[in-house]
């Protein structure tokens, strides 16, 4: 990848606050490389901390009925609708790893409605896209979710992920954020077996 990670300059590590450097080094050690989102967000340390604090609150929470695979699926499909290459590439990689199903990941990227996803997953994505597209949310939306075992707290979790990544997608597009080349192979070939690092601050 000869292109820069984004159109904004990336600070030198020596100029960054210690806690941000520590998180970057921990992530790079776990993943084997440093995702470009970390580099670009370090341009604004306060927003870097806020970004990953909220990411942890919604993605790494252990309550509710959404699995990590579900969450990555939501991010994939809403990022596709937003035409965000960065998050499509990144989160389809995480989805391949968590689902252990690269074929299904590719199906979803092409046309999730005609993919082999379960009825539960498709209902979840229908709701996620309604939030993403700022549809009027009615009781019928909640009823359709309930049929598949989702409660009101799960609906909040879906909405929070969608809203957060609506912001992420637009920010990635704005700064012209480029996916690391490593993401294209993760979960797809036998020589790339890294587990995703969970950023925690």
Instruction: Tell me if 137 sits within 8 A of 56, measured CB to CB.
Output: no
- pLDDT, residue 201, reads 41
The alpha helices in 42-101, defined as continuous H runs, are: 45-59, 68-81, 85-99
- pLDDT, residue 5, reads 66
Q: What is the mean pLDDT of residues 96-114?
A: 96
pLDDT in tens, 4-27: 567 888 899 899 999 999 999 999
pTM above 0.75, yes or no: yes
Q: Could you say which of 3.40.50.1400, 1.10.8.590, 1.20.5.810, 3.40.50.1820 is the CATH number of the domain covering 16-60?
A: 1.20.5.810
pLDDT in tens, 149-201: 999 999 999 999 999 999 999 999 999 999 999 999 999 865 444 555 545 54
Scanning the structure block, which residue is given the tokens 């970390």?
A: 38
Q: Could you say which of 1.10.357.10, 1.10.3720.10, 1.20.1290.10, 1.20.1440.230 is the CATH number of the domain covering 65-191?
A: 1.20.1290.10
Instruction: Tell me if 172 sits within 8 A of 165, measured CB to CB.
Output: no
pLDDT in tens, 28-72: 999 999 999 999 999 999 999 999 999 999 999 999 999 999 999
Burial category of 105 from C-beta neighbours within 10 Å (exposed 0-12, middle 13-18, buried 19 and up):
buried
């Amino acid at each position: 990848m000869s292109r820069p990670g984004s159109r904004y300059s990336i600070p030198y590590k020596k100029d960054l606050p210690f806690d941000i450097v520590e998180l970057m080094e921990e992530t790079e050690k776990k993943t084997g490389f440093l995702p470009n989102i970390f580099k670009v967000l370090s341009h604004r340390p306060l927003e870097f901390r806020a970004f990953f604090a909220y990411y942890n609150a919604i993605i790494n929470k252990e309550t509710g009925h959404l699995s990590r695979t579900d969450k990555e699926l939501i991010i994939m499909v809403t990022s596709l609708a937003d035409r965000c290459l960065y998050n499509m590439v990144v989160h389809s990689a995480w989805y391949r790893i968590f689902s252990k199903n690269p074929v299904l990941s590719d199906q979803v990227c092409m046309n999730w409605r005609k993919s082999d996803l379960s009825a539960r997953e498709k209902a979840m994505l229908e709701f996620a896209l309604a939030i993403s597209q700022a549809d009027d949310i009615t009781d019928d939306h909640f009823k359709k979710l309930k049929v598949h075992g989702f409660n009101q707290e799960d609906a909040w979790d879906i909405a929070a992920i969608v809203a957060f990544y609506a912001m992420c997608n637009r920010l990635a597009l704005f700064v012209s954020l480029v996916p690391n080349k490593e993401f294209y192979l993760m979960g797809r070939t036998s020589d790339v077996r890294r587990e995703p690092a969970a950023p925690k601050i």
